[in-house]
Amino acid sequence: MNIPDNLLYNDSHEWVRIKGAEAVIGITYHAQDQLGDVTYVVLPAVGTQLAAGKAFGSIESVKAASDLYAPVSGRVIAVNEALADAPEIINQSPYEDGWMVRVSLSAEPTGLLSAADYTKRCRS
């Protein structure tokens, strides 16, 4: 199972990479594996306020459609525009090229899982 140690995770299978007052958000390898081939993703516009635990977009695959849930609160400062034309990037590189949004944090992140805790959650 591909679960990088340098990220934090939420129960709904999104990851977050925090650097200073900014965060990058995407979905985990486990999530994209369960979804199958990603065919479409809906992401918020730059400037949108995200609230931790609330839906911020959606993702569709050959198997299912799912909401995306923000692991942190903040204002969207960048959206991965490449995903509009090539959503399969999420399957190919969920932790690097398949990132979804970059956020300017508005609150200290809480309730997130370490890689070890997320691994346990995926196995149960």
pLDDT at res. 70: 97
pLDDT at res. 28: 97
pLDDT in tens, 15-33: 999 999 999 999 999 999 9
Q: How many domains does the chain have?
A: 1
CATH (domain of 37): 2.40.50.100
pLDDT at res. 124: 81
Q: In what order do the strands lie in the sheet with 49-50?
A: 8-9, 14-19, 22-27, 101-105, 74-79, 49-50
Domain around 55? 8-110
pTM comes to 0.96
Give the distance, in angstroms, between the CA of residue 71 and the centroid of all CA atoms in the same chain: 8
1 pLDDT above the threshold of 90: no
Q: Which residues pair with 54 in a beta bridge?
A: none
Query: How far apart, in whole angstroms, are the C-alpha atoms of residue 31 and residue 79?
Result: 20
